[in-house]
Structure 1
Amino acid sequence: MAVLKIARMGHPVLLRRADEIEDVNGPEVRRLVLDMMETLEDAGGVGLAAPQVHVAKRLFLYSVPEGRSEGEDDPPCGVQVLINPVLEPVGDERVQRMEGCLSIPGLRGEVPRYRQVRYAGYDHVGKPVEGIASGFRANVMQHEMDHLDGILYPMRMKDLGKLGFDTEIMRYGVRT
């Protein structure tokens, strides 16, 4: 396993649609997943998409740490893998959420996200998975899915006045 270099905003790999993974059981996919897990742990994040490690493939990792869980519909979970994911909103309800990104270090912004999403794809061993995600889990999944479509969270923001450096947001809070 290896800690991979994280692409930062401005790199073209972050601005294109990632390609489908043809062999979800291939050894290169398993190796990539293990390297991404190590990279995510090293970076201290809650999600990581393959384009963020310079691989334009449709795969992302996500987790819900204990302190980020939003209740029964959003239980904590360790790192999960979604290969060739498909997400669709469940209903029209959206919530504003503060987001950061390993590819945009030091910044955070308020982004509108669907409260719930239906997801499908393949897990780390190529087994089909599907379900409905709510709360923090739904947020992370939408953020990572955006990476697979060449979208960075500032592109989703409605008010750039709610974008700021982590240190300043922690000090002063977000203007509403």
Structure 2
Amino acid sequence: MENQITAVYVDETMYASGGKRFANLLLDFVVQLVLGFLLGLFASLLYLAFGIDGPAIWIAEMGTLEERFLGVVILIVYYGLIESLTSRSIGKYITGTKVVMYDGSKPDAGTILLRTICRIIPFEAFSFLGSKARGWHDSLSKTYVIDVKKYEHAVMMKQSFEQIGQEETTELNNY
């Protein structure tokens, strides 16, 4: 029997729970804070090792608006890069979730960029707390955050049913 990828369309039973979505939010926020800290550390090391003080001074003298802008840049680079490559953020790896399209396929980079930019909408972080745990950044980008185990179980079940059908067809053709 040949190996084939079975498409399974996402349904509400596969959605990541609100608790997992909230954990993703918190875990990814911590990762972004660490990235900001590492950026500051790198700027300090540039100054200490090479006497390049521009980045360290810029970071040290940032105002609120500049801090928010840097936070948005970190958010866009973090989610845009990691989710484009893997369909998962660090938080999603930890909670066993991932981002997919309706047919279960990996979103393309443009879709991930749209999804990431939508995260900047004020109060967007609270939009996924409804009964379906689907946020504005999900609905506007037409993506879904699913529980990987539930999705893989659905794929396995579909493949099992397809295999049963193929075996019956093969047996009938042998008569």
Q: Could you state the TM-score of these two structures normalised by the residue count of structure 2?
A: 0.28
Larger Rg: 2
User: Larger helix proportion, structure 1 or 2?
Assistant: 2
> Greater RCO between the two (CA within 8 Å, min separation 6)?
2
User: Larger strand proportion, structure 1 or 2?
Assistant: 1
Q: Could you state the TM-score of these two structures normalised by the residue count of structure 1?
A: 0.28
